[in-house]
Structure 1
Amino acid sequence: MPVSRSSDSVEGRFQAAIAASCHSDQPVGLAVSGGGDSIALMQLAARFRPADRLRAISIDHGLRPEAKDEIALVAAQAMALGIDHAVVNWTWDGKGNLQAAAREGRWAAVRDWAVMHNLRTVWFGHTEDDQVETLLMRLARGSGIDGLTAMYPLTRRDGLQVFRPLLGLSRADLRAWLTQQKITWAEDPSNEDPRFDRVRARQMFAQLETLGMTRKRLLQTVDHMQAAHLSLQEAALGFAKLHVRQDTGDLILGPAALDLAKADAPRRVMAAAFAWVASRSYRPRFEQLLETVAQARKGATVTLGGCIMTPDKGGAVRLTREAAATSAAVRLQHDADLPLGVFWDQRWFLEGPVDDNLSFKALGSGIKDCPDWRAAGLPRTSLMASPAIWQGERLVAAPVAGLSNGWSARIVADYHTSAFAIED
């Protein structure tokens, strides 16, 4: 996908992207593979952020022997820039589609690394070319408005901000800039392998241009879809403010929010509710959602995707996190520059006397050691899914259930302000 723009303004456009979308001076993570896009991301970030505010991560999938050399290249450049660099290994279990599994495994590794270091934002090197290719692949899959939005510069996923400062730049722009700066990068041969959908989308673009489907036109389509998506999200947010109430980590959905027969807003609100309570970026399948809500409206207690839905007063339902679906978090290091706390289950932030021997997981059966749990005013099931601090098998604190011992717990983003943000 050739472009005619000069590389001279690469730094200016990168700086403008940061100014438009990334205002915080908190430390950020950089996902760096060693390819031209991600190497440019790290090098540009180092020009506009202090090195001690940057951390880089590379994922070794163990699929290509060349990956070791690519990661070594990243490590060397990171060291020269003064940026802390970590390498995480990922191994395919042989199940499902390799590319999809690698993509999910890569994200999980980045997410866990970011949480461990209390990073709230991770930067990725997606470019304008990636934007066009994503649109083409989603068109081929018959995606609706949400899918055809492709990628936003700033999104949220699993409680993290995902920032893409290179979306306004092409691969040609970045490689011209790297060449000009005498910066080395690696070329992944799989980027030319026609077995992969993204590569085929890239290869057919030249033919599509002859039909008038130019880069400019495709990016205009993305812009139109994003505008339509935002309108639907805004309508859903207004509906949610009227019919959904947050109760600590639970949601109370009124009767109008349970009517998923026709309108978009209730469907969007319900799907977002499950995603928010379950701390997931992906929403339940629509058919499963319809069946679950239908059973709850008949008075049944049902589970779906890590959530429990129970009947509530006046025809409403309560949506609660399922304690068994949560996982433990361990803060592996104590850094004086980081907050005295830890993010848990992607919605909670716990603050208190941090110690390296502590773990953070759902209260569960530990509720028996919380004599004042009823005073919290929440159902027992809700409290069992609330965060607790443990030392081995001993319960240290359960702030939501009334056992504080110097600890506090708060939801870091409420449903109404976060569930209708732009999704990845």
Structure 2
Amino acid sequence: MSAPHPDPVARIRANLDRLAGDMPAIGIAVSGGGDSVALMHVIRDWAAGRRVMVATVDHGLRPESPAEAKQVSQWAKALDLPHAVLKWQRESEAGNLMANARDARLRLLAGWAQRNGLAAVALGHTADDQAETLMMRLGRGSGIDGLAAMAEWRDAFGTRWLRPMLTAGRAELRDWLRAREVGWIDDPSNENEDFDRIRFRRAIEGLGLDVAALARAAAHIGEARDALSHYAALAARDALIGRGRIVLPRQAFSTSPPEIRRRLVVAACRWITGADYPPRRAATMHGLQAIASGNRVTLDGTLIEPSASEIRFVREPAAALRAAAQEDGIWDNRWRISGLEDGLRVSALGPDNLTLARWRQSGLPRDEAAASPAIWRGDALVAVPLLRPGPPVEIQPLRGAAEFRRMVMAH
């Protein structure tokens, strides 16, 4: 195996060739810090005719953020790159501020990418981010998924995210910027040891740990994670998937190691609900204990029903009743509904209307029927497409067997 190229930009360009070489349009998330500014310059020089756009998310958490976003806009304009400022409008002060801000950032960028027809959004994570994340998660007692290296690419929020700079270090990127006389913005929060990441960054520096070695360790853990994912895919090869449910054979599930069982449950729940993130580990472990005991259990909106021969994953009826149809015809993040006439709406059938819908004749179990999409005119039930025909309404599942296999293999 050849040694990595000594030039960090050459490594990044090679990664871009591999990750985005066939993409006609790409976005870049640029905060103004050294890492993302370096990424903007590298991609601009690499693009060779591709359409490139830049976006900055203004979280509004510091008074300087509007001026910083304006500065990034000026830098992008100097490179002939279109730039957009995406402002986060916080709806609530509840929850973890940093986690909420990160989630909002991805959602804002995903919406921007989709509106502009961008095939992917590139992020400025570096080898230093890999090392810091590994140490933080070690301190939290994370499992192998948490300790594994950040993936070079992943799909989330309906967008592909690229990390082409994971082979480059923060210091060498700043040296490259200085050599080109390119400035960047130093975020004062990067000196605030109230944040876990900054404390771990200081610890890595204080102990003289090799960032590249830590990043390699995270990559090795990632290889082990991938091996477990392949094992899980083999254990799920006989799963029955369709009509909004997943059925796993009990024997293959029960004879698999605990980590494989956990992966299968997480993938099945995400497939049922379409959630971007897996259930919390503690809740998942509770669900696994219930399955082992042969008890029904709900997990993040998924109803899990174990029997002697199979484990059935379906939508929890109470969660389906809370779902509302979206403007694009998607209902409950599970079904795409089209052909609705004026005055018709979609809502879950619910357990109180099972007899009205003659659910026993459908062959669907009670809870699956209750969570099914139903067509209503006011309070009158018009049709339940999965149970019996009605008006010419088309209903299509958003996910099939291929998506489940992908979620089993997901990072």
- The residue number in structure 2 matching 1:250 is 245
2:20 paired residue number: 22
Identical-pair percentage: 33
1:258 touches 1:297 (CA, 8 Å); kept in 2?
no
Once the two structures are superposed, the pairs formed by residues 41-190 of structure 1 within 5 Å of their partners are: 41-49=39-47, 53-80=51-78, 81-91=80-90, 93-114=92-113, 121-190=120-189
1: CA distance, partners of 2:223 / 2:392: 45
1:250 Cα deviation from its structure 2 partner: 2.2
Deviation at 1:414, TM superposition (A): 2.6
1:264 aligns with 2:262: no
1:419 correspondence with 2:407: yes
The corresponding residue for 1:323 is 320
Q: What RMSD over aligned residues (CA atoms) do the two structures have, in Å?
A: 4.4
TM-superposition CA deviations, 1:34-66 (whole Å, max 9, x none): 222222223333333478744433222222111
Alignment partner, residue 339 of structure 1: none
CA distance 1:256–1:24, change in 2 (3 Å): farther
Paired letter, 2:214: L
Supply the distance in 2 between the matched residues of 1:330 and 1:116 (Cα, whole angstroms): 15
Partner of residue 210, structure 2: 214
Q: Deviations over 1:310-352 (max 9, x none)?
A: 4679443133364246565446xxxxxxxxxx8887777x698
TM-score by length of 1: 0.75
* Separation in 2, partners of 1:160, 1:376: 37
- Deviation at 1:145? 2.0
- Write the distance in 2 (CA, Å) between the matches of 1:13 and 1:174: 12
One-letter code of the match for 1:45? I
1:164 shift after superposition: 0.6
Letter in 2 for 1:130: D
Counterpart AA for 1:323: A
Moved more, 414-423 or 138-147: 414-423
Quick check: 1:400–1:409 contact (8 Å CA) kept in 2?
no
Equivalent residue, structure 2, for 1:308: 303
1:334 is matched with none
**Secondary structure, counterpart of 2:125 in structure 1:** coil
Report the equivalent of 1:233: 229
Give SS of 2:87's match.
strand
Match of residue 275 from structure 1: 270
Instruction: Determine the C-alpha separation between the residues in 2 that align with 1:294 and 1:226.
Output: 27
Structure 1 contact 52–82 (Cα < 8 Å) conserved: no
* Counterpart Cα distance in 1 of 2:396 and 2:293: 37
Cα offsets for 1:203-259 (capped at 9, x unmatched): 1222322xxx322321231122111111111111111113x2221432112213653
Cα distance in 1 for residues equivalent to 2:159 and 2:371: 21
- Measured in 1, the distance between the counterparts of 2:75 and 2:361 equals 55
Distance 1:385 1:118 in 2: 34
Q: Secondary structure at the match of 2:236?
A: helix
Q: Secondary structure at the match of 1:65?
A: coil
How far has the Cα of 1:21 moved from its partner? 2.6
CA distance in structure 1 between the aligned counterparts of 2:138 and 2:59, rounded to whole angstroms? 29
Name the SS of the counterpart of 2:247 in structure 1.
Answer: strand
In the alignment, the residues of structure 1 paired with residue 366 and residue 117 of structure 2 have an alpha-carbon distance, to the nearest angstrom, of 30
Amino acid at match of 1:218: L
SS in 2 for 1:156: strand
| 1:192 positional shift | 1.1
Q: Distance in 2 between matches of 1:67 and 1:387?
A: 44
CA offset digits 1:143-181 (Å, max 9, x no partner): 232221131211233454321111111222322333344
Shift of 1:120: 5.8
Secondary structure of 1:303's partner? Answer: strand
TM-score (norm 2): 0.77
- The answer as to whether partners of 1:320 and 1:382 remain within 8 angstroms in 2 is yes
Structure 1 residues not aligned, in runs of 5+: 332-341
Give the whole-Å Cα distance in 1 for the aligned partners of 2:178 and 2:294.
65
CA apart distance, 1:260:
8.5
Aligned residue number for residue 193 of structure 2: 194
Give aligned pairs, total. 398
For 2:404 and 2:19, how far apart are their aligned partners in 1? 21
TM-aligned CA distance change 1:407 to 1:326, over 3 Å:
closer
* CA distance in 2 between partners of 1:374 and 1:27 (Å): 51
Once the two structures are overlaid, the 10-residue window that deviates more, 128-137 or 280-289, is 280-289
Matched letter for residue 237 of structure 2: K
Aligned to 1:37: 35
Which ranges in structure 2 are unaligned for 5 or more consecutive residues? none
Bigger Rg, which one: 2
Measured after TM superposition, the shift of residue 122 of structure 1 is: 2.7
3-state DSSP of counterpart to 1:238: helix
CA distance, structure 1, for counterparts of residue 243 and residue 168 of structure 2: 42
Q: For 1:266, what is the secondary structure of its paired residue?
A: helix
Aligned to 1:246, the other structure's residue is in SS state strand
Deviates more, 1:145-154 or 1:273-282: 273-282
